[in-house]
Amino acid sequence: MHRVVVTGIGVVSPIGSANAAFWSAVVEGRSGIGPITNIATDRISTPIAAEVRDFDPLQHFDPKRVGLLDRFSQFAVVAARSAVKDAHLELSEELALTAATIVGNGAGGLTTLDESYLKLYGQSATRAHPLAIPRYMANAACSQVSMHLGLKGPTFTIVSACASGTHAIGQAFHMVRSGQAPIALTGGSEACLVLGTFKGWEALRVLSTDTCRPFSKNRTGLVLGEGAAMFVLERRDHAMARGAPIYAELLGFGMSADARDLTAIDPDGAARAIRGALTDGKINADEVDYVNAHGTGTVLNDRGETVALHMAFGDSADRLAVSSTKAVLGHSLGAAGALELAATALALHHQIVPPTANFEEPDPDCDLDYVPNTARNAPIGKAISSSFAFGGLNAVLALGRA
């Protein structure tokens, strides 16, 4: 088995699309949540989101080709390019033939879908755009990354709702660790801020009307977001031989299914995924210093996740630093785990624990150390990043300091 490290990080996010800007906002608890500007809000009851603002695709793509990509694919390609550049990686033809490309996505090209349905049902159009299917399909982002970077090895998409990005990174990690691929370009992307998505989430009655306050007693729900994060994963010996920057080492990956409820978190299933990541990484519970929580800001999720952490870590739970970056990034569904892994890897790299922003009032049912509002300089030897998705699909990554 090979040791696997993160050598490149690329983000497109509501708080910036450069690593320095992204990390600065995460550490400062400076939220990207605000009034929606990219679509009309007259039919939306909760007109706030964590948008990627000022994203101009023509700055990144040839005008003749930009029409081939839905917004979620644009995010993925831009983040992938940034990750490769950040890793100082030269993609030779030999390397590209075996490099893996694995991307998580929760919903496909929703911008394309929403626009198509508006024309067909709202404007009585007689036909859809000729590129509607290639733009909408869930694997479009992964395929576009492969084509734009010339990657010809194992390439596929994982769709598992809010755990998609984490599942994708975990699979890529296992492929590099086992030797199936020398490197992997992996992560998650989502562009879900369209009318249809908002109305669907409003029907679930879980959206906040003001902001996201994970683990705070007065939390009122989640806030939708968008964006992408992509990573270069490679063997540690290969990275060191070429003098690559190393942010963190991936140590373990755990997965589980609740097989119980379609939307509610099951602490037992979440705890099994956490323990699976620790077992896979040969990590004792008392070795983990930081948890980047799923932390959606809903009453039931935050309470259930707290119970899961107690179940997985036992007496060691009380010494954990736990924070949710969704107060800053919003909940970007299939991209959430990837953006949160970026925050976790950077936390290990900088030895700073990110805060849980917008925390106002302790909740007796959420009784751990949630690092309220202010980042903390503290030694972080090992950390986990958790994603618990609708459908009861759980995925957890364990990382160590490089």
Catalytic residues: 162, 294, 331
The full DSSP string for 292-339 is E----S-HHHHHHHHHHHHHHHGGGGGG-EEE-THHHH-B-GGGHHHH
The tokens for 77 are 């390609």
Cβ neighbourhood burial of 307 (10 Å; 0-12, 13-18, 19+): middle
DSSP for residue 314: G
User: 195-204 and 110-117 are packed helices; what angle lies between their axes, rounded to 10 degrees?
Assistant: 100
Look at the alpha carbons of 204, 205, 209, 212 in this order and tell me if their dihedral is positive or negative: negative
Q: Which residues pair with 143 in a beta bridge?
A: none
- Tokens for 185? 């370009």
Please report which helix (H) or strand (E) contains residue 190, including its range: strand 183-190
Q: How far apart are CA 171 and CA 173, in angstroms?
A: 5
For residues 338 and 303, the answer to whether their CB atoms sit within 8 Å is no
Residue 390's CB is within 10 A of a number of other CB atoms, namely: 17
Q: How far apart are CA 182 and CA 142, in angstroms?
A: 18
Angle at which helix 140-149 crosses helix 71-86, to 10 degrees, equals 40
Q: What is the DSSP letter of 238?
A: H
